[in-house]
């Protein structure tokens, strides 16, 4: 199950603090993600999971601490931020596909603009990844013509087209109808099998069991527990983790 081939850290967060005004959203977060490691972040809503992964690609700024991604220490300069974002793909809860562009155009835009790839090469790469997420035949459709599950798979392909070193998933299945959750999770499992470094905020505990190297539990902006899935699910140490698991597993 564990494919963390190298122990070298790809993403390191140390002593990260974030406030929204008076609200202390992240409290001294330390997290290390090794190359090829899959991490599932879980916890009650409002616990700071999404905020945490959004700090990694600087969609949120931090007030204290240090984040290093692939050897680049994140600061507020556009050059550094862009360098980090080139290597880190992100998939959102609400897909955020560009509605005025076809599926193919969604996938070729960033490689052409950011990596300066030729249109022909960008299209070839896009088709490769669209095939991979099994949506190649929809390349010329517009996002609104696809189902939610298909849109989310396009969003995954779009991120992959930048050939990132790590992928961040922010509740990728939360906005989907139940019957579409599986197709997206299957895509993510496939990606995990190929050794992609992944940080996923999700409540899909089946997914966590299947692919995660570590499950990280957060509450009130703090990491309270981090353990291998078997250990975490069988025997959570933190009382809040126990309550949380009791609540969400009751529905499964």
Residue 158 binding other proteins, by CB under 8 A: yes
d(CA 144, CA 156): 16
Smallest separation, CB 116 to other proteins (Å): 12
70 vs 225, beta carbon nearer other proteins? 70
Q: Which stretch binds other proteins (CB under 8 A): 41-49, 94-102, 211-219, 233-241?
A: 94-102
Torsion sign across C-alpha atoms 171, 175, 178, 183: negative
- Applying the rule CB under 8 A, the residues between 41 and 80 that interact with other proteins are 57, 59, 78
Smallest separation, CB 196 to other proteins (Å): 16
d(CA 99, CA 93): 16
Residue with tokens 């240090």: 66
Q: Which residues contact 10 (CB under 8 A, 6 or more apart)?
A: 33, 34, 35, 37, 69, 70, 165, 166, 197
Residue 92 binding other proteins, by CB under 8 A: yes
CA separation (Å) from 30 to 20, 65, 67, 68, 182?
19, 9, 9, 12, 31
Cβ distance 30 to 13 under 8 Å? yes
SS3 87: helix
Residue 191 binding other proteins, by CB under 8 A: no
Kindly report the length of the chain: 252
Residue 142 binding other proteins, by CB under 8 A: yes
User: How many residues of this chain bind other proteins (CB under 8 A)?
Assistant: 27
188 vs 245, beta carbon nearer other proteins? 188
Residue 20 binding other proteins, by CB under 8 A: no
Residue 98 binding other proteins, by CB under 8 A: yes
Q: Which residues bind other proteins (CB under 8 A)?
A: 57, 59, 78, 82, 85-86, 88-90, 92, 94, 96-100, 102, 109-110, 113-114, 142, 144, 155, 158-159, 162
């Amino acid at each position: 199950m564990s494919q963390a081939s190298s122990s070298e850290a790809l993403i390191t967060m140390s002593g990260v603090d974030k406030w929204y005004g008076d609200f202390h959203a992240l409290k001294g977060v330390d997290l290390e993600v090794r190359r090829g490691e899959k991490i599932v972040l879980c916890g009650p809503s409002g616990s700071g999971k999404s905020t945490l992964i959004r700090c990694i690609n600087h969609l949120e700024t931090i007030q204290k601490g240090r984040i290093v991604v692939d050897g680049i220490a994140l600061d507020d300069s556009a050059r550094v931020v862009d360098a980090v974002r080139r290597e880190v793909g992100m998939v959102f809860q609400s897909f955020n596909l560009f509605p005025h562009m076809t599926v193919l155009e969604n996938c070729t835009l960033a490689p052409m603009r950011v990596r300066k790839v030729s249109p022909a090469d960008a299209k070839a790469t896009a088709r490769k990844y669209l095939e991979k997420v099994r949506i190649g035949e929809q390349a010329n459709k517009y996002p609104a013509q696809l189902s939610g599950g298909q849109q989310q798979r396009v969003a995954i392909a779009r991120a992959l087209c930048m050939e990132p070193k790590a992928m961040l998933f922010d509740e990728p299945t939360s906005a989907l109808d139940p019957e579409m959750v599986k197709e997206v999770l299957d895509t993510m499992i496939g990606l995990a099998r190929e050794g992609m470094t992944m940080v996923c905020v999700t409540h899909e505990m089946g997914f966590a069991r299947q692919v995660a190297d570590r499950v990280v539990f957060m509450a009130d902006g703090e990491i309270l527990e981090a353990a291998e899935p078997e250990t975490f699910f069988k025997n959570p140490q933190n009382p809040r983790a126990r309550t949380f698991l009791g609540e969400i597993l009751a529905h499964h």
